[in-house]
Homo-oligomer: A and B are copies of this chain.
């Protein structure tokens, strides 16, 4: 599983936290001061760093900055006080989250997992808002609306739609979709066909003559890139402003 570098000078705290993290399934490396932390980070390239702000020698903030100079590894900072000033300072130097002492080890583990989920999971694809005409898909919130009304899409339907909209105009074979949306490398491709059908039923104005989810004969499916992909094209907006 993931590898965590724990930077903490107090042996007692380090011990407790280290045990908790190990128990949660992380591989834990430990460093007692800033220099050791930088050296270890360079050596084992951890997936996340838990960093005490108060350190002997190199200050935690400096360590944070130095780490940032050469990698984007997520950092969770341990601060002594819960003051806004400290928090801003911590975030400014590049921390992804912080937790104030005294803290429960359990909470720290939760934060670590949360940060990892945030930084590891999202990158591949899908964040932000996808649009096509009056169809709006919020990938993060998992909400799809058309003309302001929310659509009741199931999990698979949503993923399929989001994926296709994230690659507008590109044609994908059923097998490819099965692989990229379902995460399968085997399985029956007709599954995709059926889901496309169900999706059209909900998304298309006239499901029998689709204009968004198009069939590419002999290949698979493609999301309409055509008009008004991103941004608002002339036709729809006007209304309110109307000064002429």
Which A residues lie at the B interface, using CB under 8 A? 12, 16, 19-20, 65, 68-69, 72, 74, 87-88, 91-92, 94-98, 104-107, 111, 114-115, 118-119, 122-124, 127-129, 131, 136, 138, 140-143, 145, 148, 154-155, 167-171, 216-219, 222, 225, 229-232, 237, 240-241
Contacts and interface: CB of A to CB of B under 8 A. Distances in A.
A240 B136 CA distance: 38
B142 A219 contact: yes
A114 B97 CA distance: 21
A17 to B, nearest CB: 10
Contacts of A225: 123-124, 141
26 contacts: A19-B92, A69-B240, A72-B230, A72-B231, A91-B136, A91-B138, A91-B143, A92-B148, A94-B232, A95-B104, A96-B104, A96-B106, A96-B129, A97-B128, A107-B118, A114-B127, A118-B128, A123-B170, A124-B169, A141-B171, A142-B219, A143-B169, A143-B171, A154-B218, A155-B217, A155-B219
A75 B167 CA distance: 20
A96 B138 contact: no
A21 to B, nearest CB: 12
A119 B88 CA distance: 25
For A105, A122, A155, A229, which residue has the most chain B Cβ atoms within 10 angstroms? Answer: A122
A145 B217 contact: no
A170 B148 contact: no
A171 B217 contact: no
Given A91-B105, A91-B145, 11 more contacts: A20-B92, A65-B240, A91-B104, A92-B148, A97-B104, A122-B229, A123-B167, A140-B170, A140-B171, A142-B219, A154-B217
A155 B229 contact: no
Nearest to A159: B218
A129 to B, nearest CB: 5
Given A111-B128, A123-B169, A230 B96 contact: yes
